[in-house]
Structures are given as structure tokens and as C-alpha cells.
Amino acid sequence: QGLPAGIPRDKTLILPFLFAPLPVPGNWNLWAGWRAQNCGLHQFVTEPLWTINPDVVKGGIINALAAADPIYNSDFTKLVIKLRKGIYWSDGVEFTADDLVYTIQTVKDTEGLDYHGAMQDVKRVYAPDKYTVVVELNRPNSRFHTFFLERWGALRPMPKHIFSKVKDVLTYDFNPPVSLGPYVYVAHDPAGYWVLWKKREDWKRTVTGQLFGEPKPEYVLFINHGTPEKQNMAMLRHELDAIQGTAEQMLTMLKMSNTTRSYRDTWPYIDPRDISTRGPAFNHLVPPYNNKDVRWALALSIDVVETIISTYNGMAAMTPGLPLVVGKNFYDWYFKPLKPWLENLTLDIGGGQKFKPWDSKAPWRLLEWAKKNYKVDIDPNNEEEVRLTLGYGWWKYAPDVAEKLLIKNGFKKIGGKWYLPDGKPWKITILRGPDPTDMANIFILGVAEQWKKFGIDVVFNVTTAAATLALNGQFEVLNTGHGGFAGEPWGLHPDLYLCFNAMNSKYVRPVGEPTLGWAGRWSDPRMDKIIAELERTRWTDFPKIKKLGLEGLKVEIEEMISIPIINCPIAIVFDEYYWTNWPSPKNDYARCDNFTTWPQLKYILHQIKPTGKK
Amino acid sequence: MEKILEVKNISKIYSVGSLFSRIRITAVDNVSFYIKPAEIFTLAGESGCGKTTLSKIILGFEEPNYGEILYEGKSTKNIDRIEFMKKVQGVFQNPFESFNPLITIEDIFFETIYNFKLATNKNEAIKIIEEKLNAVGLSFDDIHNRYPNELSGGQLQRASIARSLLTNPSILIADEPVSMVDASLRMSIINLFSKLKNQIGLSVLYITHDLATAYYVGDRIAIMFRGNIVEMGPVNKVLLYPKHPYTQLLLESIPKADPEKKWRENVTIADIEYTEYLKEGCKFAGRCSFVRDICKKEKPKEIMIDDVLVRCHLYSENKTTISA
Amino acid sequence: MSFIKRYLIPRLIQYVIVTFLGLTAIFLFPRLLPVDPIKQELVRYQTFGVYVSPEQQEQIMKTLRQLYGLEGTLWEQYLSFWGRLFKFDFGPSLSRFPTPVNKVIGMALPWTVGLLSFTTIIAWILAVIIGGIVGYYRKKWMEVFDFIIMIIRPIPYYITSLIFLILFAYIFPIFPLSGGIGIGTTLAFNLSTILNILKHAILPALTLIVVGFCWQFQSMKLITQVAKNEDHVIYAKIAGISDSKIVSNHVIRNAMLPMVTQLGLQFGTIFSGTLITEMVFAYPGIGWILYDSIMRADYNLIMGIMCISVIAVTTSILFLDLIYPLFDPRVRYR
Amino acid sequence: MSIILKTENLKAFYILKYLGEERVIKAVNGINLEIPENEIYGIAGESGCGKSTLLKVLLATLDPPLKHIDGSLYYNFDNNFIDVLRSPKEELKKFRWKFISYIPQGSMHVLNPVKKVKDTFLEFLESHVKEKDKKDYLELSIEHLRELGLSPETLEAYPHQLSGGMRQRVVIALSTLLHPQIILADEPTTALDVVAQRAVIQLLKRIQNTLQNTIIIVTHDMGIHAQITTKMAIMYAGKIVESASTKEIFKNPLHPYTKYLIQSLPHIGDKEPREGIQGSPPSLISLPPGCAFHPRCPYAQPICKSEEPTLKEVSSEHKVACFIAS
Amino acid sequence: MRKLIGLFYDLLKDYRFTISFIIFLFLIILAILSFFSPYNPQRTYQVPSGLPPSKNHILGTNWLGQDVFWQLTFAVKNSLTIAIVTAFFSRIIAVIVGIFAGYKGGKTDRILITVGDTTMVLPFLIILIIISMILKDWTNNFFNLGLLLAFFSWAWDARVIRSQILSLRERDFIKVAVLSGMPTMRIVRKQLLPHVLPIIFTTFINNMSWAIGMEITLAYLGLGIDPTIPTIGTMLQTAIYRQALFMGLWWWLATPIVTAILLFIALYWLSVSLSEYLDPRARFQRVGA
Ligand SMILES: Nc1ncnc2c1ncn2[C@@H]1O[C@H](COP(=O)(O)OP(=O)(O)OP(=O)(O)O)[C@@H](O)[C@H]1O
Ligand SMILES: Nc1ncnc2c1ncn2[C@@H]1O[C@H](COP(=O)(O)OP(=O)(O)OP(=O)(O)O)[C@@H](O)[C@H]1O
Ligand SMILES: [Mg+2]
Ligand SMILES: [Mg+2]
């Protein structure tokens, strides 16, 4: 059942398709308007010029279609891109500089295409030879190439030989799509719940083929079964090879089938290394959240260990800073240098008292708890392993200090309940979306619980309009998904420019107007300076980038602009019935969610192995 | 000659019909008559001839298509509704239907008193009610705190008449007031009408198809057939010496309560009602034993023979014709 | 002809007025949404990790506002709404830009209409017949049946469908877990494709029928219980007419009349009614698209679908009204 | 002359529960009747005295809340007296319409409004007649209808298209379809005007003439009894108070109630004042002790208040339940 | 009052009424118990999570560390509140519209019925979703959600009431009331209202179960009430989304389902037995002897 005749199950990899159904099934034009890309579209149809490495341990940027790093001139107004040779579209046409020139030119000229805005900076684009593209810019931009650097999305080349024949690029449906990646489109669901791909016979003429060799599966099927229960059933029927969902779903699947496993064999099972954080963020234009002491008090009234245990069974890694994600690279680049500073960080809690909030041992407390409840194979003496699994550490649970901070600012606690300085009861309204399976929404419940325990009323404004309201600044406290704008760094590149830039003071807008920057509307002259400095820094100048990044992080953390608590955990389950060699701590070739939504999937398909089961 | 109520050229047209062919039936067709003070005027005729429609028009529950109703010479359109209802009241066929089953009987009595401002306090109201109930042979205790289902049909019909008398009306429109009442009680209600006529000078429009009671209490009678008055005059003339063939048939059809006097021949009735309404000439032509050609083509005109009005071609040649 | 004047015209006028009011409501409601289609779109880029720089964002907002045709006062937009409606052109979908609304609807509607017209009618017929029988006889085992229906009816629809799924797609894997058509199959008009589609439709259809049946069964049963005390039924019973004939010729035939009207309104749920089915079974159709378009404040798409919905409902009611005389000869007379 | 139907001390009450208390309506309260063959038998009595209930019981269709309390009902079927109320229900079905049929009160409403008259006829036939005889019967019924002055168009009409008299006649035609030996007619003419009433009554009479069967006709209109019945019974408060041949009843009414009924009828050409009966009919829930009529009876004696009179024969076939009359 | 007690006593003889009454009583007791709950229903992680039913937690605890039993008490209270508010207000609209359309007839009738028809042809689940989004803050409160649901559920019942009134209007006692000079308003209130009371009553109950069902559906879609406030709908939604089924926490899932079923059965039987009992025909037959 399931697969049609002629498509053997043992040669087919079946992956979940998270953002289903396709908005417009049968439209593969991913340059015009939003397309649900993770159905194979951005995995297989396209190749970026550069991409971040799926291998988190190694990290760094891979040159994909580009043959080398971007080459800027000294004032960042001209960019030279060298292209890889011997890459072919799936219809046999060679990929050349013409394709890229055509793409940049078309996007620049056509309103409504993605990156149309970004490409307005382009003065001139041309190809001096078949494998070189030169982009001349209207103004200096040291980060222009990042539009072509794929993390989750990027501006990728279009097949000129197809698009140039089309009357209206905007409405063209690109059906069937022609691929640059190693797989080619076979069929899709008219409802948009599945898309089937087949390995190209000439897979050698793709970037993947050149860099990593032959991908193993003959077919890849992306499918969405609707509700989580159905994903579970599908995996139990071995009709689905991976599931990414909630912690409960993961535990359920581990319990219910003996062919399933997760990233880790034992607690905490999850892969903690997504590149975004979760936690409440404040609207800095709304009192009392514009007060640093209040923000710190709210942070110190959270028992991070208890929160993680209650919401996620402890299976998440804690992080104290907004773009400070948990991962080997960030550990080395930022956490290690930050550690002494964190340890010495001191708060003035009034009455001449000082307080050092940093709790370096929080991950170990989590570990202690876990050992009592689960089988755990993390070596407590291996600091790096503990911190990279359970997080860097967090703030002390110090409600007494929080109390002092608040009282210092005129707050009152009467009968166990907090009152604002103006005498009104303190009620925090948290804006959040309706999806109860969203990690952020699950996690915020635990945070709210901590604040309630501390004596503050918390209510939720649950609305599907959360996104719009956030952008308009119509909130007090926001439950951030990806840290809002400022959340996600490149992850495997130390540059934090894109995170910091969102906090540029020029983007702050009053409540009611959509902001161009971070929804929290925080700004600081120190940060503005760091941003300007970064703009002048070459993308490859790691020491300077790291130095500026570190400075920015310190400002953010000291100001407690939001309270990131965890690094988004990837709760993933693999079925080893047909395919094995999924990533694990011992075989850590990729972050697990590359199998579900990320475009880098094509670079790891040579890793999995068929079991040979029929 | 005094007329308390005059019905002038009233016509009421209903339209009925099937999906593709609707027809209009003239339920009441240019009917005129009047009622004198202290007179019981009977309106008789087969079922469906428009009697109820006429009574509804008089009471103001239906709008006539043509014609008007005059009360003491004034068109009802120019009379305040409450004033008119004070003078013209109605009694209906089914005593059980005349009272709301969920409300006590006395309630509607008090309502009437209250709405017409007949009394200023409750005691006064009870006095008036008591008086009217006594007139119909009941007492206030009989209705006090009682629901309609607790009284017999006869009692209810009396109560219904008593209620209509509360406003001291000068005329009562009684649509088949006894047809649902037990045989044994019927006479007492009929007698009540003549008593009221004699004692307080009440006029009654007595609608019935029971000609025997019509003869018993009525002063004048009008016989209706398919929306038309076919014969009208004093009861002893119309009922003892019927002129119109339909009146004759009607009288003959009354089952005599005497096993010795049985019907002789068979009668025919129309099967589908509205076909008769649609007839062009005399609507009785289809069933008349004296039918002639003219009857099928031309509507007969009204003819006065002494004080009896007849609408039949049999009498049209040698008598004076009064235009309709 | 007076049939036209008396019967047809008033109904047509009513039809036009109700449709007009309905469509106007549909124009207004989405515009009151707190969600802004453009901001919603922006946030989607961000959520899915496409980095949008602030400058780029401003540009996107400007372009989209223009492209989406969201300029002008409400009144101007309203007028152009009617203008487009008469051409049956709802413009581009905002959330699926630049795909035209008509195309989006065109892809989804056949599935919905196919599944729902089938299940609605089947459920209705079953309810009328079985409801009539149970309402009339009231035998012991029927009471049991009735009781079972009573228990099934209140179970939230998605629980019912989940139970069906677990039973027939998991424990006894007879039917596929999800989808409207087999994996790897492309839509084509041939027997195997049709069978494939039917196979996928069975579970969703079954749940829709069960739920629809339970609701209508109970109203039919109640109507029947009143109908069976009508004079003509009692007369027929006294006359020794067999029960089966009484049930079919008198009880069901007459009790069906109010159910005909219900059927008309039932079609109204077609568009909203499949939403949960589509979510649970990952079945193609308009329900999810509508839901999604509301979430994204895709005015054009919302309006496109709801216009069709309103027009379909009013038209089907009008149609039933016009053919009602066929069921009830009394109406013909009036 | 043989008896076609008889009852012995037949009692059937409505038993109702309301507001937690039980109410018993003694609608048929000890009826003794013997109905001979080939007669038109009239039952008179005023509204609510139990006439319709009696007919329902005679037809053996007792549905709750009506309950058979006591006594028996016998049909003379092929010279066997069958105790009908104690026979199994299935058995009763075979009597229906073939042996005994029924014209219900308010027949205007008993035809299915959404079916053509013809279909109702066919349905009745199909339910009782074997397939092969159906055609004959249909012809017969068309014949019937024609005799009854109903054109074949009537068969094609829907009930609401027919006038009340017409519908009544259709129902009569239905009841005679299978030539039953007994026809029960419950107020077949109320709500009809006199002309239509006459047509209906004449029809019934003609039917009886042709079929030579028994028609039991219930009405409170003494005129109709005088016109067509040959024997009759007077009912008062759930009981038969007098029975005799029609002529005898009209000539020599014995029970005071009967006397009132006959004398209070006005006649055309006679304006002499007449009195109605005083008081109102008793409630069947709480009957007065003794003779139920005594509160209204001008001749009431002490014994009437305490003892219940029974139906006694005073002359041949003339029975009366009254202490004074007998 | 005696009459009421008598009526109740009589109704109790109907097993359906008795059972539904007991269930209802039981649910009301549950709702009342919520006032004595040891836990704040919106707080999480108050008790160990995922415990099966036991002496301490008679319906077990859920994954969020809440005691299912005490959650249920709030859920029942809240769902009933929504249902009653909905039923109450939609009845008011339905009665006013139905009576006036039916009694006044003519233009009034046509306008009111047109408005009603319009609300009926709109795909109301969708409109409900839209409105619940538009009025987000506003619907975050049971009372307002009830009002909103009420707005969508009066039209059909108004039609039913109207047709009743149409036939009542033709009855003689209304004519008598007119002849007794009663003004329209009083006729409506005194003469007509008592007759439609049984329909009002039974549709009230039916409307309640509809509202509960709608709340459940809305909750499933993540709309309606704040999901941290327990209602039958939100309880169910959380249990489903948090994989209670596959985690084996059946008590978490079964509790709201069983409660919903019980509640619906109680409401249905209540409506059936009452409507049979209050059926004017049956009633008059019973009274009129
Ligand atoms: N509302 C109506 N619509 C259509 N036709 C009507 C309406 N009311 C009465 N009719 C028709 O008008 C005619 C006269 O009816 P009406 O009720 O006045 O007769 P009637 O003399 O009172 O009869 P009955 O003796 O049966 O009471 C009948 O044919 C009837 O069918
Ligand atoms: N279904 C019933 N339930 C309760 N009581 C009933 C029922 N049918 C009749 N009755 C009561 O039984 C008594 C006798 O009724 P029945 O119909 O037999 O009288 P009737 O003589 O035929 O009267 P009418 O002349 O009005 O037809 C009446 O008091 C009536 O109220
Ligand atoms: Mg009349
Ligand atoms: Mg009777």
C-alpha cells in the first residue's frame, strides 16, 4: 500500500513535509511569492551559490554553485563570483554564468519576485566569461553575497533557457520543474500533501554529485499526513522514515516501535542544535518592560531547570543570550570568551547590594535530575559535552533578588501578589499563536507558570493575528518563535550582523506602526556603533567579526533585552526499518532537522544506508 | 328606516391555484345588506359560501377588495378601531377556541374592561362582569380562576357571549355560534340571543347553516350561495315560501327529525369547489333543476318581490328589475 | 402568468436580496480582520527562515500593496468587488500570489463538491429512511440503535474520524491514511485512477456520512414521531394497511418535507464542513484553503470562496423552493 | 334476524397521568349492545359522551391511553362469535376492512395530503386483496365513485383540491371498498352543509341497500337518525340510556334525556319557545353518583341520586335505563 | 409552585428525563466543585504529570501537570456558561424575531426573515472563525463568545417560532384578544408567548448542545477561548495535540470525551422528554378531560 507499483519502498526515502499542504500544488516557481519549499523544491530543484555546512561539527560555509568565496573590491561596491564548472540542469542544459546574470537582472526588473527589493542595489551585472559573474553595486555592501548564501532560503539561479521564454515570470508555474539538484520531480498531490522525486541519472553533473558522491535513495517522497497522530500511524506502518514534532510525539514513537530511534539513544534524545532560541521578549516601548531592572527581575524569577523539566522533560539546552545558539562553533567563538565576563557580571540590586546572577552549573543540575529519572550517558566531567547537550548555563533562580529589584523600582508585593508602582495589580499579557504543538507555545506555559509562582498574573492573548500584532508592536510580552527578527544567526558563520542590524535604532517605530526591525523595539547607541562597524568588516575577517559579535552580545545580555531560555530542541524520530545510519552523537554528520525541512538535505543523502528490508 | 350596520357592495377575492394556473375566487361577491337595531339578521348558506369571510371583513380582520362597511352611516375606515370594537363585537364558532387554553377565562374579561376603560377599579370591573355573566346565565364564580378546559362548551360559549357584551355593543357578529355546542345546550344559547335582543335591544348578525334555528330566532334572513346573496327577506317569507331554487333545495335538505318524513330524490354536489366559483352565469346553474340557457351565460340580477330580494332568472321577465 | 408573478418573482427577489446581503457581508467581514495580508506574508518569510532585511521589507510591503489591489477606500474596493464579481474574476490570491483565485478554487472545488454532494445526499437519504423507520416502529433493538446514534452524535467530529482512521487505516490497514489520490499517481481520466480516488475517498466519506446521518437521523425521527400521529396515518393503520406501506407511503413521504428544506441548508455547510475532514485526512478540498486564507487574511481568496459558497447555498435553496411543489402538492395549490 | 356484533358490559377508559396524578376518563362505561344484521343502527348522544370512543372499541383499536377495562366484544364472523378484544392482534387484522370498516370523525383530514386519491385507493386495495383481483376491485371502486357522484377526475385529484363533502364521500367509498359486513361511521356529516350532508347520508343509505350489511352511524343530529337509521341507541355519559327502533324513539321517547333531545329541536314554521336542557353534561372523570343524568333531570327522585339504573326492556326491543320511565 | 413540583414529579417518571436529570445534576455539582478546587486551573505543573487515575487524583493527571478531575470541574462550568449564554441570547433574538415576523406579517415579516435567511446562507463556521479573529480580545470571555454564537443560531428557530405564530394568529382566541382591545404587544406577550414556550424551551436545550459543540470545534482550530482556560473543547484540544492517545494517557483524552457525550445525552434526552411532555397537543389532551 502507499507507493505505486514500480517504486520500491526499500529504495525510497519517505520524509515529512512540514509546511503542508502546498499553497498552490503544481506551481514550482519559487522565485515568485511564497512557496512551501521544503517539499523538495529547495532541496532538489535549486542549488545556492553558497550554503552553510550541514555538518555542524565542521561548520563553515560550503561553496556550492560558486567555486570560491565571494570576492569584494575594497569599498564593497563590486563583487566577483566564480562559478563551478560541469554542472547541468536536469534537462541537459549546462548551468553557466548566464543563468545567474539572468536571474539577478530579472529579479531586479520584476516587481513581485522575491529579493526584488534586495536586488535594487545592483547597478550592473554581467558575465565576463562563462563561469564568472560580476555584480556592481550602487552603494557599498559587505554582505551583498549573503542574499545568495543559503541557510534556509536564498536567491538561487533560475534556468534562463526556460524562464527567458516565458511571457510573465511572475505567474509562470514552472511545471514540471527543471532541477539543478540531484533529484527530479516525478509527481505531486493535487491537494499538495505529497511530492515525489526521483534521482537524476546524471547526478554526477550536480554540485552534490561533485562534492559528496551518489545519494543513496532512488526516490524521495515528501509527505504530510495532516495531524501528528497520523504521522505516528504512518511511521508505525513504516510509511514514514522521519518525524519532527513535539517532545511527546518523539517519546511516544520511541516507546511504540522498536525500529525507531532519535538523535541520542538515551535521554535527552533530542538534537539541541537548531539555530534559534525560545523565550519571552519584551516590548521596550511599553512600561514597565522598558525598565532593565524589571526585565532582570523577570529573568531571575524563572527557575530555568524546573521550567525545562516541566515543559520538555528537561530535554532542551539552555542559553542566556539572544543569538547565542548552542553548538560547537558558537561554543568556541562566543561562549568561551564570554564565560569570564558572565561570571563577573554584577547587578546593582539596590541598597548598595550587588548580585552576581550567572549560574554556570545549571546544566549539571538538570543532569542530576535526569539521572534520577532516566538512563543517561553523558559524562558529567566532560564540561564541553554537558554544555553542548544541556546548554551553556543560565541565570540563578533568585526570586529574593528579583523581589529586591522590583521593590527598588517601586513595585509592591501584597498578599503574595505583585502590584505595579502605580498601585494596579501586575498582569502580564503574553501574545502568542494558537498552535498548541508549537515548541514556543509549549515552553511559554512553563515560563508563565514561573511568573505566576512568583506572584504575577499572567494571561495569554492567543491569536492567529499574533504575527501582525507583533510587527505592529501591539503587545507587552511576546512569545518569540525564532527570536523575532533578531533571532537566527547564520549558525556556522560567526557573523552576527543580520541579528544585530534588526536592532538598529533607525528601525524603531512607535507602537501601532509596523517596524522594519526587531518587534521588541529595543535600541542602544552602543549597538548602533557595532552595526556600523560590522558593515565595514569583511565577511572573512573572523577575528574582527568575533570581537564585534562578542561586544554586541554583552550589550544585549546586560540589558536583558529579552529572556531567551532554550535553544530550540529538535525532537526527531527516525525509523530504521528501511534506512539506517541516521545522525547520532557518534556519527554526527548533520543536524537532524536537515532531514525534514532544510535545503542541505541533498548534501547528506549519501550518508544513509538501506537496510535491505523489502 | 334605521340601519345600524350596513354592508355595502363588499367583494373579497382570494386567489388560489396550482403552480401553473392560478385562479381568483370571489369568496364574497358584491354583497350588500343592512341590519336594523334590535334585529336578528341571519346569514345562511352552504359551507364555503363566504359567510365567515364576510364576518371577518365586518370585524376588520380582513380587508375587502371592494366596498365598505358602514356603522350608523359612517364608513368604518373613518371610525377609530377601538371605538368601533366597542360597538361591534364578535362571537365565534368554537367555544373552546375562543379562549386561550393557557390563560384563565376571567383574564380576557378584565382585559376587555381595562382596554376599553370600562371601569376604574377591580371591584367595579367585577361588578360589570358579574352583570353580563348573569345576563347569560353564569356567575363570576363560574369563571373565577378557571381555565377554559374546566368549563363545558355551553358554559364557554355563554362566557364568550358575555365577554362580547362587556362593552355594551349594539351589534354582535356571531359566526356559527352554536354549531359546536351540544345539542342539549344549543337552544339555551339561541334563546339567549332573542332575550338580549328584546331586553337590551342588541342586534345580532347570526351566521349559520341551521335554518331551523334561523327561523326560530331570526327576523330577516339572507341566503348566500357561492359568494352571492341569492335570496333575502323576512324569515317567515323566505323560509316558508322559498323562491330561489337553491333556497328550496336547502330547505328540502334539512333532515326532518321525524322518521316518517324522508327525502325523496337524490341531490348532487359539486366535487371540486372552485369550479363552481368560476361559473360565469348563475353559479347554481349546474345543479338547478329549472336551469335554462340564459342561466349559464348571464348573471341574474337582483329582483325585489315584495320585501324579498331574489337573484334568479326565473323571476326576471315579468318583475321589475333593480340594478345591482 | 400568475405563477411567475406570485410564485417565482417573490422567490427570485428574495434570492437576489439574500444573495446581495450575504455577499456584502462577505466583503466586509474579512476587511475587519486584525490580520494584515501583507504583514502576514512578511512574517511568513521570516518564520520560514528566509532572511529579509529591513530595507527589503519596506520594498516588499510597497510592491505587494500595489499588486494586491488593496489601494483605495473601502467603498472603491467594494465597487470594484462587484465589478469583478460580475466578471467572475476575484483577482490574484494574496497568500498564493500570483496565482489567480479562480485557479486556486478550481483546483480544490471539484474534490469538495464531489465528496460532499455525495455524502450529504447519502446521509440524508439514509437518515430519512432509517429515521422514519425507527421513529415509526420503536422496537426494542431500534431503541438500542437509537441509543448508539445518540452516543456517536455528540462525539466531536475529529474524534470520530480519528477512530475510523485508527480502525481502518491502522489496525486493519484497508484504506490509505491520507490524501485524495495515490502517491505518484497523476490525475487522469481512466478506470484505475477513478478507483484510486474512490479508495481514498471512502474513509472521509464514511465519517462524513456517519456524522451527517446521526444529526439528521434524530431530526427525522422526531418529525416522524409527530407525523405518525397524524389523522391520515392513524386512519391507514386502522384500515389495516401494512406497517411497511404506512412507513414508506405515509410517514416517510410526509415527514420528508421539512427534511427537504434541511437538505438545502445542509449544502451550506459544504464549504465550512469539510475543513476538519481535510485537516484530519489530508484530503484535498476548499475547506483548508479557506481556513488558510482567513489566517493569512487573503481577502481575494476568502471572498472568492465565500461568494461561491453563498451563491451555491442560496441557489440550492431557491432550487429546492422551486421544486418543492413537486414534493408537496399543497404548495401547488396555495 | 341475527346479531352481527354484540358487547357485554364493555368498559374502556382513558387513563391519563398528569402532574403526577392519574385521571380516569370513563368514556365507555359498561355498554351492552346487540347490533343486528342488515340495519342502519344509530347512536346518538351529545358531544363528549363517548360515542367516538365506543366506535374505536367496537373496531378493536385501543391505543394508549385508551384501555380496555372489562367486558367483551363479539363479532359474528361466519356464525361464530369471536371475542375480539381477547384475540391476538394479528388475528384482528383480517377483520379490518373486510369484515368491519370505519369512517372516522373528521374524515376531511384522513386522506394523505401528498397523495392522489387514486393512490390511496390502490394502497387500500393492495393491502387487502391479492394481486390478481386488484384490477377488478379498482374497477369496482371507480364504479363506486361514479355511483357516489364522484367523477373519475376525483381519483386524479389531491385531497386538498376536493371540497369537504367530496372528501367525506371519498372516505365513504374507501370504507365500502371491500364490502364489509359492518361499517362504523363516526359523525360522517358534521362540518358539512345541509346539501352535502344530504348527499352523504343518501349515499350511505344506498350503500346499505346494495350491500345489505350493517352500518352503525354515530351523530348527535337527531334529524339524520330520523332520516336513515332503523334502530338506535341514546348514549349519555359513557352509557346507553335508551335503545329501540328509530320510530319508537321518536314517537315514544322514555328517557327524560331522549325526550329533551327530541322536543327541543325547533322546526321551520314553528316559533313556539323551546327550552334547552338545564345544566351541562357531567365530566366523565367524576360522574355524579346514581343516574348520571339526575342533576339535570326535572323528574329526578331520591333513588336516582343513589342508585344507578340499568338498561331494562320496557317493550319489545325498547330498552331504557331510568327508574322513572320503567 | 405545587404545579411545578407536580410537573417535575411527573417528568421523573420518564426514564430519559430521570437519567438526564441525574447526569445534569452531576455535572452541575462538578461545576460547583470548581469553586473548591485546590488548584488554579490555568496553572501548570502543579502535580506530577502523566499519572493514571488514583486515590489522590481520581481522574489522573495530564502531561501539563494538572489534575484532570479538577480541570474537568472548571471545564464543565465554563462550557455550560458558554452554552447557557448562547442559548439565552439566541432565544431572545429568535423569539422576538419569530413572534414579530409571524404576528405582524407583511413587510416586517419579510425583512426579518430575509435577515435571518442571510445569516443562514453564510458559511457560518468560517464567519465565526473570522469574527473570533476580529474580536479576539472580545471573544476571550465566555459571555462574549456566547453572544457571538448566539448571533448565528437564532435564524432557524426564529423561523420555527414564526410558523407557529402564523398558525396561532389564525386561531379564534387571538381574534377575541383583538376584539377585547388588547394592543399588539400585550397580545404577543400574554397570548402568544405561552404557546411558543415549549419550543423555546426545547430549542434552548438544543441550542446549548450546539454551542458546546461549536466551542469544541473552535477550540480544535485553536480559536475561541484562550486555550489555557479549561473548557471541554480546550481540554480535548490539549489532550489531542499533546498526544494523550499515543502516550497512553487515555484518562486525559477520555475525560472530556465522556463528559461531552454525557452532557449531550443529558441535553438531548432533556429536550426530547420535555418536548414530548410540553407538546401542546399532548398537554391539552392531558388537561382537557
Ligand atoms: N385565506 C383564504 N385564502 C384563500 N381562500 C380562502 C381563504 N379563506 C376562505 N377562502 C375560500 O373562500 C370561500 C369562502 O370561505 P368562508 O370561510 O367564508 O366560507 P363559509 O361560508 O364560512 O364556510 P363554512 O360554512 O365552512 O364556515 C371558500 O371557498 C374558501 O375556501
Ligand atoms: N385520546 C384521548 N385521550 C384522552 N381523553 C380522550 C381521548 N379521546 C377522547 N377523550 C375523552 O373521552 C371522552 C369521550 O370522547 P369521545 O371522543 O368518545 O366523545 P364523542 O361522544 O365522540 O364526542 P364528539 O361528539 O365530540 O365527537 C371525552 O371526554 C374526551 O375528552
Ligand atoms: Mg365559516
Ligand atoms: Mg366523536
pLDDT (tens digit, 9 = 90+) per residue, D118-149? 888 888 877 777 666 667 766 776 776 776 66
> What total of structural domains would you count in chain B?
1
| pLDDT digit string, tens, across residues D143-161 | 767 766 667 777 777 887 7
User: Residue ranges of chain A with pLDDT lower than 70?
Assistant: 1-2, 34-36, 481-487
In 3D space, the residue among C28, C16, C5 whose CA is nearest the CA of residue C315 turns out to be C16
Amino acid at B264: R
Higher pLDDT pick, C5 / A13? A13
Amino acid E282: pLDDT? 47
d(CA B230, CA D223): 26
| pLDDT digit string, tens, across residues B294-322 | 887 788 888 888 888 888 888 776 544 44
Residue B301 lies in a domain: no
Amino acid B1: pLDDT? 55
Interface test with B, best of D280, D283, D286, D293 (most B CBs within 10 A): D280
Q: Are C40 and E142 in contact (CB under 8 A)?
A: no
**What is the average pLDDT value for chain D, to the nearest integer?**
81
Residue E57 lies in a domain: no
Residue ranges near ligand 3 (ion) with Cβ within 5 Å: B 52
Residue B234 lies in a domain: no
Residue C314 lies in a domain: no
- Length of chain C equals 334
Residue C306 lies in a domain: no
Residue B272 lies in a domain: no
Kindly state the cell numbers that stand for B211: 335554518
Amino acid C1: pLDDT? 44
pLDDT at B180 over 80: no
Indicate yes or no: CB of E125 within 8 angstroms of CB of C21. Answer: no
- Identify all chain E residues contacting B87, using CB atoms and an 8 Å cutoff: none
Q: Are A321 and A564 in contact (CB under 8 A)?
A: yes
Q: Is C193 on the interface with A (CB under 8 A)?
A: no
Amino acid B278: pLDDT? 61
My answer on whether omega of the bond before D104 falls inside 30° of 0, hence cis, is no
Indicate yes or no: CB of E7 within 8 angstroms of CB of D285. Answer: no
Helix, strand or coil for residue D279? coil
Indicate yes or no: CB of B46 within 8 angstroms of CB of D164. Answer: no
For residue C191, give the CATH number of its domain: 1.10.3720.10
Strands A566-567 and A277-282: antiparallel
- The finding on whether D52 has its CB within 6 A of some atom of ligand 2 is yes
Chains D and A lie in contact, requiring 3 or more CB pairs less than 8 Å apart: no
Element of type H or E holding B40: strand B40-45
d(CA B128, CA B168): 10
Q: Which residue of B has its CA nearest to D246?
A: B259
Q: Which domain holds residue B168?
A: 5-226
- The finding on whether B125 has its CB within 6 A of some atom of ligand 1 is no
Please name the member of A248, A433, A461 whose beta carbon is closest to the beta carbon of E242.
A248
**Taking the domains of chain D in order of start, what are their residue ranges?**
3-114+158-264+277-320
pLDDT at B324 over 60: no
- The finding on whether D51 has its CB within 6 A of some atom of ligand 2 is yes
Neighbours of B198 (CB within 10 A): 10
pLDDT at C36 over 80: no
For residue B134, give the CATH number of its domain: 3.40.50.300
Nearest CA to ligand 1 atom 7: B14
Kindly state the cell numbers that stand for B49: 359560501
Residue C238 lies in a domain: yes
pLDDT at C149 over 50: yes
| B172 Cβ neighbours under 8 A, 6+ residues apart | B88, B89, B90, B91, B161, B164, B165, B193, B196, B202, B203, B204, B205
Residue B196 lies in a domain: yes
Q: Which domain holds residue C260?
A: 111-296
Q: Which domain holds residue E26?
A: 2-31+64-288
Residue E36 lies in a domain: no
Question: For A50, phi and psi rounded to 5 degrees?
Answer: -130, 155
> What total of structural domains would you count in chain C?
1
Q: Is B110 on the interface with E (CB under 8 A)?
A: no
Residue B310 lies in a domain: no
d(CA A33, CA C68): 12
Amino acid at E130: I
Over chain E (289 residues), the average pLDDT of each successive run of 10 is: 69 81 90 86 77 84 83 90 90 88 77 77 73 64 81 82 81 87 86 82 83 83 76 86 79 87 85 71 39
In 3D space, the residue among B188, B177, B310 whose CA is nearest the CA of residue B241 turns out to be B310
My answer on whether omega of the bond before A268 falls inside 30° of 0, hence cis, is yes
Amino acid at B157: Q
d(CA D177, CA D157): 19
Q: What is the dihedral of CA B284, B288, B292, B294, to 10 degrees?
A: -10
Q: Which of B9-13, D95-99, D103-107 has the highest mean pLDDT?
A: B9-13
pLDDT at C68 over 70: no
Residue B286 lies in a domain: no
Question: For A435, phi and psi rounded to 5 degrees?
Answer: -70, 115
Q: Is D154 on the interface with B (CB under 8 A)?
A: yes
- In sequence order, what E strands does chain D have? 3-18, 21-36, 40-44, 66-77, 80-83, 100-103, 182-186, 214-218, 231-236, 239-245, 312-315, 318-320
Q: How confident is the model at residue B17 (pLDDT cuts 50, 70, 90)?
A: very low
Amino acid E285: pLDDT? 40
Residue C152 lies in a domain: yes
- For B115: left if phi > 0, alpha if psi spans -120 to 50, otherwise beta; the answer is alpha
Interface test with D, best of B25, B155, B182 (most D CBs within 10 A): B182
- The finding on whether D178 has its CB within 6 A of some atom of ligand 2 is no
Chains C and A lie in contact, requiring 3 or more CB pairs less than 8 Å apart: yes
In 3D space, the residue among B84, B122, B164, B115 whose CA is nearest the CA of residue E184 turns out to be B115
Residue C138 lies in a domain: yes
Which residue matches cell numbers 365567515?
A: B52
Amino acid B22: pLDDT? 52
Please name the member of C21, C34, C314 whose beta carbon is closest to the beta carbon of E136.
C34
Residue B12 lies in a domain: yes
The CATH fold of domain D3-114+158-264+277-320: Rossmann fold (3.40.50)
Helix, strand or coil for residue E57? coil
Residue E38 lies in a domain: no
Q: Are B65 and B227 in contact (CB under 8 A)?
A: no
Q: How confident is the model at residue C142 (pLDDT cuts 50, 70, 90)?
A: confident
- In sequence order, what E strands does D131-238 have? 182-186, 214-218, 231-236
What ligand 2 atom has the least distance to the C-alpha of D235? 21
| D28 Cβ neighbours under 8 A, 6+ residues apart | D10, D11, D12, D13, D50, D53, D54, D57, D238
d(CA E244, CA A370): 23
- The finding on whether D49 has its CB within 6 A of some atom of ligand 2 is yes
CA distances, A429 to each of A133, A432, C155, D118 (Å): 51, 10, 34, 74
| pLDDT digit string, tens, across residues D248-258 | 888 888 888 88
d(CA E42, CA A452): 10
d(CA B148, CA E288): 9
In 3D space, the residue among E149, E140, E129 whose CA is nearest the CA of residue E231 turns out to be E140
Amino acid B305: pLDDT? 83
Residue B26 β-bridge partners = B13
> What total of structural domains would you count in chain E?
1
For residue E106, give the CATH number of its domain: 1.10.3720.10
**How much of chain C, in percent, has pLDDT values that exceed 70?**
82
CA–centroid distance, residue D277 to ligand 2 (Å): 21
- Identify all chain B residues contacting C333, using CB atoms and an 8 Å cutoff: 16-18
